[in-house]
Amino acid sequence: MTAATDAVPVTAPAHPLVQSLRDSLVVAKRNLIRMSRLPDMIIFGLIQPIMFVVLFSYVFGGSMNIGGSTSSSVYREFLMAGIFAQTVTFSTAGAGAGIADDMHKGLIDRFRSLPMARGAVLTGRTLADSVQTALTLFVLALVALLVGWRTHTSFGEVLAAFGLLLLLGYAFTWVGALIGLSVRTPEAATSGGLIWLFPVTFISNAFVDSSRMTPWLQHVADWNPFSATVQACRELFGNPGVSTSDAWPMQHPVWASLIYSVLIVAIFRTLAVRKYRSASV
């Protein structure tokens, strides 16, 4: 009597990059589902930038001199690139708090027990935060149109500007991830994420013309990565605020924005993944 045995097919292990991408998308999906079940988190994330748009537009609009004009409508168009950039960078604090919360609850240890790429937990989290940031930008753009903001270039250039904004937001999210892994509580991550964001966003050309600053402060503002993205968006939107600075980032803002964002991702992703591995041991 003979016994027939079925051969069990052996599947080759996936390439490490494919496995990392697959795991990252799974983690991103998990975070997006969690966000969808917490609509108040999304709503409160929208309220703050909308308040900035309204307050800056109507409170400071008539007192700012942009290109020799004190018109509030001119300032609104000048302002919006800065508000968009501020919104995507302020998402850093939320990303850091979320990762710190996962660490505090032991979720990271559970992920670590699974056969998955180590960097996928952080990559998935940052991708999910980028989706939320894109939603916030979309709503904010609608509000900006309602208060009088307009673009004067092609649809492709407008999309390119929003692409640069999302890339900057994604880059700064990795800074938030590193902060979230370096502190003990979500509250500390939120505070730590906001402390450094205020000088980055306000020592820039986002809300005022940097040429009106003192020379040393103007130099800092002109080489600020945040300023490069703001200036690039103004050019791509066709909004007022063309820089007269000789600084290379202000003369080539699109390229400067791309280079800055890619460098920030490369540096802080490396540091965050290294911190994640040491913090999980």
Instruction: Return d(Cα 72, Cα 80) in angstroms, integer.
Output: 12
Residue 152: inside a domain? yes
Residues 97-148: tens digit of each pLDDT: 777 777 777 666 676 666 677 677 888 888 888 888 898 899 889 988 888 8
Residue 2: inside a domain? no
Instruction: Return d(Cα 75, Cα 71) in angstroms, integer.
Output: 6
Nearest CA to 200 out of 260, 253, 272, 160 is that of: 260
Residue 113: per-residue pLDDT? 67
Q: Confidence class of residue 13 from pLDDT cuts 50, 70 and 90?
A: low
Q: Confidence class of residue 16 from pLDDT cuts 50, 70 and 90?
A: low
Residue 4: inside a domain? no
* Tally of domains within the chain: 1
Question: 66: which strand partners?
Answer: 69
234 pLDDT more than 90: yes
Task: Tell me the one-letter amino acid at 118.
Answer: R
Residue 24: inside a domain? yes
Q: Confidence class of residue 14 from pLDDT cuts 50, 70 and 90?
A: low
Residues 252-280: tens digit of each pLDDT: 999 999 999 999 999 999 998 888 877 65
List of E strands, 58-216: none
Averaged over 212-223, what is the pLDDT? Answer: 91
Helix pair angle (225-237, 72-105), 10° resolution: 130
The DSSP H or E segment spanning 71 is none
Residue 107: per-residue pLDDT? 67
Residue 246: inside a domain? yes
- For residues 11 and 223, which has the higher predicted lDDT (pLDDT)? 223
Instruction: Return d(Cα 82, Cα 279) in angstroms, integer.
Output: 36
Averaged over 51-75, what is the pLDDT? Answer: 71
- Which long-range contacts link 129-132 to residues 24+ away (Cβ below 8 Å)? 129/31, 129/91, 129/94, 129/95, 129/98, 129/173, 130/166, 130/169, 130/170, 130/173, 131/28, 131/32, 132/35, 132/42, 132/45, 132/91
Residue 251: inside a domain? yes
Instruction: Return d(Cα 49, Cα 220) in angstroms, integer.
Output: 25
Residue 3: inside a domain? no
Instruction: Return d(Cα 244, Cα 280) in angstroms, integer.
Output: 49
Helix pair angle (39-59, 16-36), 10° resolution: 80
Residue 62: per-residue pLDDT? 61
Residues 24-60: tens digit of each pLDDT: 888 788 777 877 777 776 777 778 778 878 777 777 6
- For residues 8 and 171, which has the higher predicted lDDT (pLDDT)? 171
Residue 70: per-residue pLDDT? 62
Q: How far is CA 138 from CA 60, 89, 133, 178, 247, in A?
A: 24, 15, 9, 27, 31
Instruction: Return d(Cα 39, Cα 271) in angstroms, integer.
Output: 31
Within 10 A of 13 (CB to CB), how many other CB atoms are there?
8
8 pLDDT more than 70: no
Give the structural domain span for 175: 16-280
| pTM, two decimal places | 0.85
